[in-house]
Amino acid sequence: MAEVRVTNRDGSGLALDAAEGRPLMEALRDAPTGVEGTCGGECACGTCHVYIDAPWAAKLPPRSEDEQMMLEAIGELVEVRPTSRLSCQIRMNPELAGIAVEIGPVP
Ligand code: FES
């Protein structure tokens, strides 16, 4: 398990454990964060949008083409930042233990 530090949309914070080898979205969805993960991690809904704290964002692999396209699509309705990611596309690993994320707005 890897700890994830979460800032919710209302500014409250919580820490949760995410299973290594699994998408970050699943841990967020299963906790009281408001993340829905409607498409089940298929990069097709944008409901798992998060802002990654900048130092951590730099440690992640770049967005895939599909992720980029979905972020551009939701960016027409909500604020998408350079640190925006779809949490279903972030596979947890030991190097991400302690990652800090803010739950992003969704369309
Ligand atoms: S869960 Fe649908 S895009 Fe991530």
Q: Would you say the CB of residue 50 lies under 6 angstroms from ligand 1?
A: no
Range of the domain at 65: 2-103
Residue 23, ligand 1, Cβ within 6 A = no
* Look-up of token digits 């551009």: 72
| Token pair in block for residue 50 | 């998060």
Question: pLDDT of 16-43, one tens digit each?
Answer: 999 999 999 999 999 999 999 999 999 9
| Backbone φ/ψ region at 43: left (φ over 0), alpha (ψ -120 to 50), beta | left
Q: Residue 5 forms beta bridges with which residues?
A: 15, 100
Instruction: Check which CATH number belongs to the domain holding 97 and give it.
Output: 3.10.20.30
Which of the four pLDDT bands, split at 50, 70 and 90, describes residue 107? confident
Count of H helices and E strands in the chain? 3, 5
Q: Give the pLDDT confidence of 37-76 residue by residue, as tens digits.
A: 999 999 999 999 999 999 999 999 999 999 999 999 999 9
Give the global pTM.
0.96
Q: Is 74 in the pocket of ligand 1 (CB under 6 A)?
A: no
Instruction: Determine the pLDDT at residue 53.
Output: 98
Q: How close is the Cα of 55 to the center of ligand 1, in Å?
A: 23
For ligand 1, the distance from its centroid to the CA atom of residue 12, given in whole angstroms, is 23
The count of domains in the chain is: 1
